[in-house]
Amino acid sequence: MIINRTVKQCGKADYGWLQARYTFSFGHYFDPKFLGYGALRVLNQEVIAPKAAFQPKSYPHVDILNIILRGEAEYRDSEGNHVRACKGECLLFSTRKGISYSEHNISANKPLTRLQLWLNAFPQQESLPLQRMELPEQPLTMLASPTAEDGSMQLRQQVWVNHISLNKNQAHHLQLKGKNAYLQSLNGNIKIKGNSKDNALIKCGDGAFIHEENYLVLKADTEFQGLLIDLAA
């Protein structure tokens, strides 16, 4: 089963310094039908104004994946660690109890655009506080997984996050590991079809809930960049 979640259906917020789009309930946006999807708790795309910042705050026990789509960000935690990341880089933070984190657009004149995922983490499992990698240009690359397979970043949950990069009319077959998945377009349009024969057209910024499909056939209508979050349950 494949169900579209269009960009128009998502929650939105505009605070002047921050413009946000929420796939699931977050902040002042609440929809009881969209409280997350399995271990995927948050999927936000946010634009942060020049010099603006999220002030230090703590998080629930989650892994946070930030993908920088435009601009440059600086992250700091209450233990004195700090890191910068720019367009094409992704950072995975394993949040810890008692630690607060901040995010800052360090540009004086350019907005920062990034995608953020929160993934529920097993409380008894530990991982590196920070991992990072660059977005590759291959058709399919695993960014994060439970066992750091294929050089990916390690998650504290049975989730596999894949980056998809296809040229116009390029097709790719993908075997799913879990019962559920979520596909998010970062840029461009793509057609997807599952083994159940369900199919959908995902346009730029749209997403899709995928349930009980063993594999997917992806074909890009335009140049396409996206994420596939493969969930064990």
The dihedral region occupied by 59, where left means phi > 0, alpha psi between -120 and 50, and beta the remainder, is beta
The pLDDT of residue 155 is 97
3-state secondary structure of 19: strand
Show me where the domains of the chain are located: 2-231
What tens digit of pLDDT does each residue of 132-149 get? 999 988 999 999 999 999
Name every residue whose Cβ is closer than 8 Å to that of residue 163 and which is 6 or more positions away in sequence.
Answer: 135, 136, 140, 141, 142, 143, 225, 226, 227
What tens digit of pLDDT does each residue of 64-85 get? 999 999 999 999 999 999 999 9
In degrees rounded to 5, what are phi and psi of residue 63? -95, 130
3-state secondary structure of 7: helix
- The residues with which 172 forms a beta bridge, in sequence order, are 218
Q: How far is residue 11's CA from residue 19's CA, in Å, rounded to a whole number?
A: 11
Low-confidence ranges of the chain (pLDDT < 70): none
Place of tokens 């890009």: 220
Task: Supply 106's token pair.
Answer: 């360090």
- The helix (run of H) or strand (run of E) holding residue 133 is strand 130-134
Q: How far is residue 183's CA from residue 155's CA, in Å, rounded to a whole number?
A: 18
The pLDDT of residue 233 is 74
Task: Supply 44's token pair.
Answer: 């936000």
Q: What is the CA radius of gyration of the chain?
A: 17
The verdict on domain 2-231 having CATH code 2.60.120.10 is yes
Percent of the chain with pLDDT over 90: 94
Q: How far is residue 186's CA from residue 163's CA, in Å, rounded to a whole number?
A: 10
| Sheet of strand 215-220: strand arrangement | 171-175, 215-220, 190-194, 199-202
Place of tokens 């240009």: 137
